[in-house]
């Protein structure tokens, strides 16, 4: 794993924990990104909706890498994507690295946190 990415990710975690409390991990950040992208604010979500929110986050994060394309929103304002290019086979470590790098890019590009 790229040491710089890990340091920046830990810095992001510290900044997020100020607003959202401790114990955050990649999965919880994906959930937060999904809620942000849905754009309806905080509310109670059903279990399947939480899974859908994480999927929205993954699609959003991997869209700039050419893996997904945003196709629009449904009548309830949920964003939808289509798969453009399959991800290459990655081991767990490589997946974590890709997600952390994409999360850092997301927060930086959206000017939420500069890390």
CA angle 111, 55, 18 (to 5 degrees): 40
Q: What is the pTM of this model?
A: 0.89
The tens digit of pLDDT for each residue in 13-53 reads 999 999 888 889 999 999 999 999 999 887 899 999 999 99
Per-residue pLDDT at 1: 53
């Amino acid at each position: 794993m790229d040491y710089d990415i890990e340091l920046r990710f830990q810095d992001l975690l510290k900044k997020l924990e100020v607003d959202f409390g401790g114990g955050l991990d990649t999965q919880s950040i994906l959930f937060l990104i999904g809620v942000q992208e849905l754009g309806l604010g905080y509310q109670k979500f059903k279990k399947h909706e939480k899974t859908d929110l994480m999927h929205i986050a993954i699609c959003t994060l991997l869209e700039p890498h050419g893996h997904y394309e945003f196709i629009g929103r449904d009548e309830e304002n949920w964003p939808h994507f289509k798969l453009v290019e399959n991800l290459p086979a990655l081991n767990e470590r490589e997946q974590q690295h890709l997600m952390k790098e994409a999360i850092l890019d997301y927060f930086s590009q959206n000017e939420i946190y500069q890390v």
